Amino acid sequence: MESPIRIDVSLLPPATRHDTIFKAYESLDEGQSLVLAIDHDPQPLFYEFSHKYPKSFGWDYLDKGPEKWRVLITRQQSITDRIVADLVMEDLSLGKVFDAYGIDFCCHGDISLEEACRCQKLDINEVLVAMKKKSGPGAFWQPHFEEWSVSLLIQYILENHHSWERHTLSDIEDLTIKVADHHGADFPNLKKVKELVGHLKYAIIDHFFEEENELFPMILKGSKSVELLKEIEKMKVEHAEVGAILTDLTLLTNNFQPPQQACSSFRLLYSKLGEFKQDILQHIHLENTLLVAKAVA
Ligand SMILES: [Fe+2]
Ligand SMILES: [Fe+2]
């Protein structure tokens, strides 16, 4: 048997770790594994894997701290290639979802989820979302944030939201410039989109800097000072500013719906902007509600 790839991210900056791990994972063939070494419990990463690769990866701890954690991560068959009968066997609650969509998981359940959706002319993404809602704990993206420690929550925010939003925003900015330069004459809104994306970038860079260097360290130290409350208020004001820019972008882009004649880069830009908005709204919600509640408790 081929020995697994080894990857140690302990010395990498936190913001780049998940990207490095996902790139390594995606370079694996089905059935291949990698051994991840890291300096803390990678539980948030497990949840991100569950979200990105539902029911299609193996996760086995080889060492569980206290200084070093090692996990054997195995690339398995993608969920869309899995046999529907097997999926129900693993998680009975999925039977109800398949029933609702007319997917036979009993007598004719020996076909892949993708094939079953094709036969029934179903949108597989819609089915996956319904499966995600119904599936049992741990199978999909169902983190119980309220049970997490404040340090785990901050680690999750940094490694998932801050990291992903930073590099996605940079991609969006490049794409906006390209699309606005090429199509700005035909679609005057693009000039304003470019301007708003610029504002968004600066607002977010400043905001992340403030959180990472002021607010989060204060929370991690267990501070309950007046300064902490001021930082929290500042965070909420900045969230509202980012929210306002996103509202303007939503209106300007007709809720990120590209015009019919839009080229593929134009479509990609709107799709990435919509995705970015969803991610940052979850991120803000997590900080404004759960993180604040845990910090001041
Ligand atoms: Fe944040
Ligand atoms: Fe924030």
pLDDT for the residue 44: 80
* Phi, psi angle pair for 83, to nearest 5°: -75, 130
Among residues 34, 49, 116, the alpha carbon closest in space to that of 83 is found at 116
pLDDT for the residue 137: 45
Q: How remote is the CA of residue 159 from the centroid of ligand 1, in Å?
A: 10
Cis amide prior to 42 (ω within 30 degrees): no
CB 253 within 8 A of CB 188: no
Q: How remote is the CA of residue 73 from the centroid of ligand 2, in Å?
A: 31
For residue 225, the number of C-alpha atoms closer than 13 Å in the C-beta half-sphere is 12
pLDDT for the residue 2: 64
For residue 31, the number of C-alpha atoms closer than 13 Å in the C-beta half-sphere is 2
- Taking residue 236's Cβ as centre, other Cβ atoms within 10 Å add up to 14
pLDDT for the residue 177: 95
Per residue of the chain (297 residues), what is the pLDDT tens digit?
A: 567 889 999 888 877 888 899 999 999 988 899 999 998 888 888 888 887 787 788 888 899 888 889 999 999 888 888 888 888 777 767 888 888 898 988 777 889 999 999 999 998 878 887 887 776 544 554 456 777 789 888 988 998 889 889 989 999 999 999 999 999 889 999 999 999 999 999 999 999 999 999 999 999 999 999 999 999 999 999 999 999 999 999 999 999 999 998 888 899 999 899 889 888 888 888 898 889 999 998
Amino acid at site 91: D
CA distances from 104 to 26, 55, 71, 98, 129 (A): 31, 20, 36, 7, 18
DSSP 135: S
Name the closest ligand to CA 158: 1
Q: How remote is the CA of residue 159 from the centroid of ligand 2, in Å?
A: 13
pLDDT for the residue 136: 53
Q: β-pairing, 57-64 with 5-8?
A: unpaired
CA distances from 257 to 105, 160, 245 (A): 36, 26, 17
pLDDT for the residue 135: 64
Q: How remote is the CA of residue 284 from the centroid of ligand 1, in Å?
A: 7
Amino acid at site 290: L
CB 277 within 8 A of CB 245: no
Ion ligand 2: residues, CB within 5 A, are 287
- pLDDT digit string (tens) for 55-97? 788 888 899 888 889 999 999 888 888 888 888 777 767 888 8
CA distance 65 to 228: 31
Q: How remote is the CA of residue 203 from the centroid of ligand 2, in Å?
A: 10
Encoding tokens for residue 124? 């597989």
Q: How remote is the CA of residue 198 from the centroid of ligand 1, in Å?
A: 19
- pLDDT digit string (tens) for 231-257? 999 999 999 999 999 999 999 999 999
* Phi, psi angle pair for 91, to nearest 5°: -145, 100
Name the closest ligand to CA 154: 1
Q: How remote is the CA of residue 211 from the centroid of ligand 2, in Å?
A: 7
Q: Report how far Cα 140 is from the mean position of its chain's Cα atoms.
A: 13
pLDDT for the residue 285: 82
Residues 6+ apart with CB under 8 A from 16: 163
- Total number of residues shown for the chain: 297
- Taking residue 43's Cβ as centre, other Cβ atoms within 10 Å add up to 13
Among residues 202, 194, 188, 187, the alpha carbon closest in space to that of 173 is found at 194
* Phi, psi angle pair for 167, to nearest 5°: -75, -30
Encoding tokens for residue 241? 């500013």
* Unique residue bearing structure tokens 């709204």: 281
pLDDT for the residue 22: 92
pLDDT for the residue 127: 85
